[in-house]
Amino acid sequence: MKLVKNENEKTQQISDKEAEEAFRVILKWMGEDPSREGLLETPKRVVKAFKEYFKGYGEDPKAILEKTFGDVEGYDDMVVQKNISVQSHCEHHMAPIIGIAHVAYIPKDRVVGLSKLARVVEVFSKRLQTQERLTMQIATTLMESLDAKGVAVTIDSTHQCMTMRGIKKEQATTVTNYYLGQFKDDLSYQNRYLRFIAK
């Protein structure tokens, strides 16, 4: 399924069969019978789903940003991509985080293909996360990989660890922002960005 590290920092491959057996144990712990007809294939299906939920562990976000374009005729204002869907899982309860991300950067000499911005969001989202760290990871990766003049990232999401369990506040959403470079140093850029994403 994926590589995990033990205390000796060596990688150890966990097989699909081992993961499926772990889910059978969890089904028993829940009070279910994993051998009943409706659950016979459930461990296999859950492993397949988890490979999709957490595929970001096997992907390198910096590699996505390697190809850039210099033929932009001196464009040096912000590029803003709004309403990128976010589907992640919180690391505390493994409950879904569902929301949207807005990403902006100010190019120095080169720009990146628009789909690559959304792909970076996707890679970091497909890992166990806190929203604060997710926001910062996207921003710092874009800033470093694109050698940008500035980066801004906003995420607005619902955490099902709050809506389905615990305090159970179904309407609560969480907003995080992270600014680097000109977006952090110059409030006029920050304010323009916030106006753009509010539309």
Summarize pLDDT for 48-77 with one digit per residue, the tens: 999 999 999 999 999 999 999 988 888 889
Q: Which of 129, 131, 137, 190 is catalytic?
A: 131
Q: Is 171 a catalytic residue?
A: no
117: left (phi over 0), alpha (psi -120 to 50) or beta: alpha
Q: Which of 102, 159, 182, 190 is catalytic?
A: 159
* Interval 122-148 mean pLDDT: 98
Position 16 scores a pLDDT of: 97
Q: Is 93 a catalytic residue?
A: yes
Tokens 């890992």 correspond to 127
What distance in Å separates the CA atoms of residue 167 and residue 24, rounded to the nearest whole number?
29
CATH class of 3-53: mainly alpha
Residues 81-117: tens digit of each pLDDT: 999 999 999 999 999 999 999 999 999 989 999 999 9
Q: Domain residues of the chain, as ranges?
A: 3-53, 64-198
CATH class of 64-198: alpha beta
What distance in Å separates the CA atoms of residue 42 and residue 86, rounded to the nearest whole number?
26
Position 9 scores a pLDDT of: 47
Q: Do 3-53 and 64-198 have matching folds?
A: no
* pTM (global) more than 0.85: yes
Position 11 scores a pLDDT of: 52
Q: Which of 18, 92, 132, 144 is catalytic?
A: 92
Q: Is 59 a catalytic residue?
A: no
Q: Is 92 a catalytic residue?
A: yes
Q: Is 161 a catalytic residue?
A: yes
